[in-house]
Amino acid sequence: MRTFDFKGDETRAPSRGAATPNVVAVGLAAKRARDVSITRWRVNRLFFAKDAFPPSLGTDQNQSAATPGETVASGIGRWSADVEVDVKSPISVLVFHAMPFAAQLDYLRTWRPENPNWEGPTREGLAATLQAEVQAHPVCFFENASQFTCLDPVYSTALVRGFAEGLEGKSVPNWAQFFTFAGWVLDQPDRETEIRDEFSGDTRLGRRWQNCRLEIARFLDEALCGKLPSPPPNERASVWRSIEMLTRDPDPTSSGEMQGTMCCMDPYTSSLNTVRGEALHAVFSFVHWIRSHSREAISGGQDFDDVPEVRAALEAFLDPQLEHSMAVRSVFGANLPRLAHWAEAWLRSHIGEILPAQIQKPSEQAAWDTYLRVSGVDSTALGLLRQQYAAAITRMSQDRALEARWEDSTIGLGQHLVLGYCRGSLDLEQPGCLLAAFLTRASEPVRAAVLAFVARSLAEPAELISPVIVERLLKLWNWHAQRETTAGADGSQDEAA
């Protein structure tokens, strides 16, 4: 939930998933999760005795217990043929741990399921055992990562997930082995092919290395932004080679987005779950990593002169002939304040490509919505995007049906403007004030939601509120109340509350 930053106008790194929650949607989601959990229990525990129970109990195998395609995390359980089954490993974690390292590798290379189906052990189950072992002893495996080449993709994916789960707070001096492993994975041909499901025996079209490539992108992003141990500066070339290869991954496809393949995700969430989207997140984290090791670069990077590889990558992502994905474009929206702080000159020359004032494409709308929903408010970005804010206010007032959608960006637009006003970037007395235009044209429910946001922000401040901000808020309320009185507005009970 976004709240005021009472420290003043300083750039903040975008917080992933910082959207204001829809209380009704959250409640419905919680109810559905509870209902699904109950049905899962019934199907999983009572299925084999279903004939002894009345039909009303809901133990029928054909009863829908999960949404289509729903799966449980590796190592916990999986849905197959509408029945939840635990993935089984051919070996326990304790026995696997007792093996010498060479024997572990040999077991991973040679073990094959005798009768692949949901009743017996599977590669996925063995991968869960490997992931648990790596998570418990991440540094040892990390420093021997190159020995995990030539394994099945499911084991390579488990290896990287184990690194991500186990390395937090650890020290890793040697990254060469990891980049040897990552380079081998990223060099593997990964065209779409038929993949056989171990449980059902069914086949589907897919890419064998896609999940592993996604996990490598996530791991690099978290390492470069400081959530995990970061590579030493002398690994710059290896880091960038991995990122650059990931930026050329075909996932996501624009056709898949348009056909609704990612229908359960907004574009920004999709960017966190697709290879090329995560690769772009890693590009921004790469800038953070480089500049955290170079004080000179911070003052001299207004045009990305210190990171020319990043400049080239970002401009390639903005080329409409090369990139059409809404998910990828949303990453630009989330990082606009960082761009304004890191490379203002570059952003000024490319702002029309990232966010044109007149939005015409879904990818452009995705960038704008994500900017409002996810990013922080920055005075430089607010100044650069004045035309975009004005155009959004016009669109909002022309389409009341669009404005009425509570999850739409209209409330986020108002939150941005009121934050900019509190920081002194907007003045109600100046002609053409964006906040005044918004409050004049917005519907009463939207205005009430924005004022409620102000109230929540004032209720439990992290520190004493600046008297300047208090004065501005009082001025805003008096201005708004006077405008309502003068206009003879009716039906503003929610605003008053």
pLDDT greater than 70 at residue 232: yes
Burial of 154 (0-12, 13-18, 19+ CB in 10 A): buried
- At 342 the pLDDT is 93
Q: Which residues of 98-122 are buried (b: 16+ CB within 10 A; e: fewer)?
A: eeeeeebbebbeeeebeebebeebb
C-alpha distances out from residue 255 to 38, 214, 259, Å: 36, 19, 6
CB-based contact 89:128 (threshold 8 Å): yes
Burial of 276 (0-12, 13-18, 19+ CB in 10 A): buried
Tokens of 76: 């916990």
216 CB-near residues (< 8 Å, 6+ apart): 160, 182, 185, 186, 242, 246
Q: Which residues of 280-296 are buried (b: 16+ CB within 10 A; e: fewer)?
A: bbbbbbbbebbbeeeee
pLDDT greater than 70 at residue 408: no
Q: pLDDT tens digit string along 410-464? A: 899 999 999 999 999 999 989 999 999 999 888 888 888 898 888 888 886 667 7
Most confident of 74-78, 230-234, 320-324, 398-402: 230-234
Burial of 173 (0-12, 13-18, 19+ CB in 10 A): exposed
Q: How far apart, in whole angstroms, are the C-alpha atoms of residue 177 and residue 147? A: 8
Most confident of 15-19, 54-58, 167-171, 454-458: 167-171
Most confident of 328-332, 392-396, 462-466, 468-472: 328-332
Q: Which of 404, 336, 322 is nearest to 368 (CA)?
A: 336
Q: pLDDT tens digit string along 109-147? A: 999 988 766 678 999 999 999 999 999 999 999 999 999
Q: pLDDT tens digit string along 260-319? A: 555 578 999 999 999 999 999 999 999 999 999 876 555 545 789 999 999 999 999 999
- At 337 the pLDDT is 94
Q: How far apart, in whole angstroms, are the C-alpha atoms of residue 96 and residue 79? A: 26
Window from 24-38, 227-241, 326-340, 477-491 with minimum mean pLDDT: 24-38
Give pTM, 2 decimals.
0.80
Backbone angles phi, psi at 143, to 5 degrees: -75, -5
pLDDT greater than 80 at residue 85: no
Backbone angles phi, psi at 203, to 5 degrees: -115, 155
- At 75 the pLDDT is 39
Burial of 62 (0-12, 13-18, 19+ CB in 10 A): exposed
pLDDT greater than 80 at residue 373: yes
Query: What average pLDDT score do residues 169-182 get?
Result: 96
